[in-house]
C-alpha cells in the first residue's frame, strides 16, 4: 500500500493530462504573445528619445485619450446590450423558422474589417453625424451584437424553463421572474459577454480611426499614431502598457464577478427548452425584436452591397468581374486573397479550438488556478498594431526568423480567437452537474471515460459555436495580419485595405465587392457549423 501522501495524489495519467491542458496553451501564449509584446516594449522603452515615460503619462493628450477610451467602452457595452438583448431572448427561448439564419446573420458584422464598416457608416449617416462619439458607439454595437446573441443566447437555450414556471405558479409576475430567476441564472453568460464587448470596445482601432476624426482617439489609435506615423516607439510602448493595465483590471473584475455569480440551474438540451411562440403577443414580440435587429444590422450591409455595384453613373458587376484578373495593387488576382483567407481561417480555427478547449478544461477544473483564465484573456486587450510590430521585431533573427513564414498568419489569428473559445466553453463545462461525474466514477468509469461520455457531449454545442466564432474572427482579423501577410499572399481584409488606399472608383468598388464576398463566406461557414451543432443536439 502507498503512503497517505501518495494516496492523495492524482494518478500519473491525470497529472500528465493536467500538465498538457495547462502547458500547451500557456506555452503558445508565452511564445507568440508575451515574447513579441516584451520585444516591442523593450525596443520602445530603451530607444533614445527626448521624452521619458513619465512625460508621456503626464501629457494632457494622454489623459484625454485614456478618459475617452474608458467611457466610450462602457457606453458601447451598454448600447450593445440594449440593442442585442431583445433578439437574444428570442433566440434563447423560442423555436421559429429561420432561427439558424438569424444566428448566422448576426455573425456577419462581427467578421467585417473595421475599415470597411466604418466607411459604410460614413456613407449611411447624415453629414453632421458621420464623425464623432455617437457613430463610434453605434458602430461598436453593430460589431458586438453577435457576442451577446451567441454567448448569452446559447447559454439561455440550455436553462431549465421549469424554474420560471414554478415562480409563475407561486404568483411571481413577468418582471419579478426576470429579476429574480432569469437574470441570476444568466449572470455567468452575461458577465462573459460584457467582458468581451467591453474589451473589444476598449481596444477599438479602425472604427475610431475613421469615425472619430481628429477629435476622438482611443489608446489603440494613439498607439498606431505614435508607432507608425510619428515613429515614437517609446510613447507607443507606454500607451500599450497603460492599455494592458486597463485590460488586466477589466479581466480581474470579470473573473471576480464570474466566481461570485457561479452557475445556477440545471442545463437541458435545446430541444427540451425551445418552444414555438404560442400567443399573438409572443409572435409580435419575436418578429418585432428580430425585425428591429435586422434593420439595425442590415442597413450598413446593404450599403456595402450597393457600393460594390456602384461603378460609373450606374450599377454593374464590373467590380466582381475584375476580381479574377491580376492587379498590381495585390501582385495577384483578388480571388487568391479569398483562397488565402479561407486556408488561414481554417488553420487558425483548428489551432484555437484545440488550445482553447484544453485551456477551458483546465480552467473549469475545481483545482485550476484562475490566473490561467486571466492570462488567456490578455490577447483580447492587446493592441493588434503593437502585436503585429512585435512579431516583426521579435521574430527577425535566427533561430526565430519566422516572420515571413506563411503559417505565422494563422498563429496570430488563433491568438486573437482563443479567448473567445475559452469564454464560450468554460461556462458550458461548469454547468455540468458534478453528481453525474461522481456517479459515473462510482460505476467504475475512468477519468478519461467520464470526460468522453459526460463532458464531451455536453460541451459539443459550445465547441461548435466557438469554432464558428473563431473562423469568423480569423477571416476578419486585420490589425496584426496587415503586418504579417506576405505581399503575394494577402488575406481578404488586407486586400480590401489596399484597394481602399488607392484612388479610383473601380478600386473602391472592388474593395466593397471583396467585403460582400467576405460576408457571404462567413454566413455559409456559420450556417454549416450551426447545422452540425443542431445535428449533435438531436434537432436534425
The most confident of 41-50, 258-267, 404-413, by mean pLDDT: 404-413
Q: What is the pLDDT of residues 72-90, one digit of tens each?
A: 999 999 999 999 988 888 8
- Give the model's pLDDT for residue 150: 81
The stretch 393-401 carries a mean pLDDT of: 79
Is 2's pLDDT higher than 50?
no
Give the best-scoring range by mean pLDDT among 130-139, 206-215, 232-241, 443-452: 130-139
Q: Which secondary structure element, helix H or strand E, spans residue 6, and what is its range?
A: helix 4-8
Confidence of residue 344 (pLDDT cuts 50, 70, 90): very high
In contact, 485 and 494? CB cutoff 8 Å: yes
**Residue 3 maps to a domain:** no
- pLDDT tens-place string over residues 302-338: 888 888 888 777 788 888 888 888 887 887 888 888 8
Q: Examine residue 310 and state whether it is found in any structural domain, yes or no.
A: yes
> Could you tell me if 465 and 450 are in contact, meaning their C-beta atoms sit under 8 angstroms apart?
no
Q: Count structural domains, the chain.
A: 1
C-alpha cell at 377: 484573456
Q: Which helix (H) or strand (E) holds 320?
A: helix 318-321
pLDDT at 335: 86
Phi, psi for 325 (deg, rounded to 5): -105, 135
Asked, for residue 522, whether it belongs to a domain, the answer is: yes
Enumerate helices (H) and strands (E) in the chain, giving the number of each: 27, 2
Enumerate the β-bridge partners of residue 252.
Answer: none
| CATH number of domain containing 474 | 1.10.3720.10
Residue range 209-239, pLDDT digits in tens: 888 877 888 888 888 788 777 777 778 778 8
Q: What is the pLDDT of residues 472-524, one digit of tens each?
A: 778 878 778 888 888 888 888 888 878 877 877 788 888 888 888 887 877 77
Q: Is the model more confident about 465 or about 298?
A: 298
- In this prediction, residue 130 carries a pLDDT of 67
Peptide bond before 399: cis, by omega within 30 degrees of 0?
yes
Dist. CA 157–CA 431, nearest whole Å: 13
Whether the per-residue pLDDT at 13 is higher than 60: the answer is no
- Cell readout for 504 is 479610383
Residue at 346 is within a domain: yes
Which one is predicted more confidently, 138 or 161?
138
Would you say residue 120 lies in a domain?
yes
Among 14-18, 117-121, 231-235, 446-450, which stretch is predicted with the lowest mean pLDDT? Answer: 14-18
SS3 435: helix
Domain containing residue 213 = 12-537
Decide if 2 is inside a domain. no
Per cent of the chain over pLDDT 70 is 78
Mean pLDDT score, 407-433: 82
Check pLDDT > 60 for residue 412: yes
Q: Is the pLDDT of residue 253 over 60?
A: yes
Least reliable range by pLDDT among 239-248, 353-362, 377-386: 377-386
Is residue 3's pLDDT more than 50? Answer: no
Query: Which DSSP helix (H) or strand (E) runs through 315?
Result: strand 314-315
Grid cell, residue 116, equals 470597411
Task: Check residues 267 and 427 and name the one with the higher pLDDT.
Answer: 427
Q: Left if phi > 0, otherwise alpha if psi is -120 to 50, otherwise beta: which for 132?
A: left
**Confidence at residue 5, expressed as pLDDT on a 0 to 100 scale:** 45
Q: For the ranges 160-174, 202-216, 512-526, which has the lowest average pLDDT? A: 160-174
> 237 lies in a domain?
yes
**Is 1 among the domain residues?**
no
Amino acid at each position: 500500500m502507498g503512503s497517505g501522501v501518495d494516496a492523495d495524489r492524482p494518478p500519473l495519467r491525470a497529472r500528465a493530462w493536467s500538465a498538457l491542458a495547462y502547458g500547451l496553451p500557456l506555452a503558445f501564449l508565452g511564445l507568440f504573445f508575451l515574447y513579441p509584446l516584451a520585444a516591442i516594449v523593450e525596443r520602445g522603452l530603451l530607444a533614445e528619445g527626448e521624452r521619458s515615460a513619465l512625460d508621456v503619462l503626464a501629457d494632457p493628450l494622454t489623459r484625454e485619450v485614456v478618459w475617452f477610451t474608458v467611457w466610450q467602452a462602457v457606453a458601447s457595452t451598454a448600447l450593445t446590450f440594449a440593442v442585442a438583448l431583445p433578439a437574444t431572448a428570442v433566440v434563447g427561448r423560442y423555436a421559429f423558422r429561420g432561427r439558424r439564419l438569424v444566428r448566422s446573420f448576426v455573425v456577419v458584422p462581427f467578421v467585417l474589417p473595421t475599415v470597411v464598416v466604418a466607411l459604410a457608416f460614413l456613407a449611411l449617416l447624415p453629414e453632421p453625424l458621420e464623425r464623432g462619439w455617437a457613430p463610434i458607439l453605434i458602430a461598436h454595437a453593430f460589431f458586438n451584437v453577435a457576442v451577446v446573441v451567441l454567448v448569452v443566447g446559447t447559454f439561455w437555450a440550455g436553462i431549465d424553463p421549469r424554474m420560471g414556471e414554478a415562480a409563475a405558479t407561486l404568483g411571481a409576475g413577468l418582471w419579478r421572474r426576470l429579476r429574480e430567476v432569469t437574470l441570476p441564472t444568466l449572470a455567468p453568460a452575461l458577465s462573459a459577454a460584457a467582458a468581451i464587448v467591453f474589451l473589444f470596445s476598449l481596444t477599438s482601432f479602425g472604427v475610431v480611426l475613421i469615425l472619430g476624426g481628429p477629435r476622438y482617439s482611443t489608446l489603440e489609435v494613439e498607439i498606431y499614431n505614435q508607432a507608425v506615423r510619428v515613429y515614437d516607439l517609446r510613447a507607443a510602448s507606454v500607451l500599450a502598457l497603460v492599455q494592458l493595465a486597463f485590460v488586466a483590471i477589466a479581466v480581474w473584475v470579470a473573473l471576480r464577478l464570474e466566481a461570485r455569480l457561479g452557475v445556477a440551474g440545471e442545463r437541458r438540451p435545446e430541444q427540451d427548452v425551445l418552444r414555438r411562440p404560442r400567443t399573438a403577443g409572443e409572435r409580435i414580440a419575436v418578429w418585432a425584436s428580430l425585425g428591429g435587429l435586422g434593420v439595425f444590422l442590415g442597413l450598413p450591409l446593404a450599403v456595402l452591397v450597393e457600393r460594390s455595384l456602384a461603378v460609373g453613373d450606374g450599377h454593374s458587376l464590373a467590380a466582381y468581374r475584375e476580381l479574377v484578373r491580376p492587379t498590381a495593387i495585390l501582385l495577384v488576382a483578388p480571388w487568391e486573397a479569398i483562397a488565402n483567407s479561407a486556408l488561414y481561417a481554417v488553420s487558425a480555427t483548428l489551432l484555437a479550438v484545440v488550445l482553447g478547449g484544453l485551456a477551458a478544461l483546465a480552467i473549469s477544473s475545481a483545482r485550476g488556478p484562475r490566473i490561467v483564465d486571466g492570462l488567456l484573456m490578455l490577447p483580447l486587450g492587446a493592441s493588434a498594431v503593437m502585436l503585429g510590430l512585435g512579431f516583426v521585431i521579435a521574430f527577425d533573427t535566427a533561430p526565430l526568423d519566422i516572420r515571413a513564414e506563411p503559417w505565422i498568419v494563422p498563429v496570430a489569428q488563433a491568438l486573437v480567437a482563443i479567448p473567445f473559445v475559452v469564454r464560450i466553453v468554460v461556462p458550458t463545462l461548469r454547468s455540468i452537474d458534478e453528481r453525474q461525474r461522481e456517479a459515473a466514477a462510482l460505476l467504475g468509469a475512468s477519468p478519461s471515460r467520464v470526460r468522453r461520455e459526460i463532458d464531451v457531449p455536453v460541451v459539443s454545442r459550445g465547441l461548435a459555436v466557438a469554432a464558428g466564432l473563431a473562423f469568423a474572427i480569423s477571416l476578419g482579423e486585420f490589425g496584426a495580419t496587415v503586418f504579417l501577410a506576405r505581399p503575394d499572399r494577402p488575406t481578404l481584409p488586407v486586400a480590401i485595405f489596399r484597394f481602399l488606399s488607392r484612388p479610383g472608383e473601380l478600386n473602391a468598388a472592388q474593395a466593397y465587392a471583396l467585403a460582400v464576398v467576405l460576408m457571404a463566406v462567413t454566413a455559409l461557414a456559420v450556417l454549416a457549423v450551426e447545422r452540425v451543432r443542431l445535428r449533435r443536439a438531436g434537432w436534425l
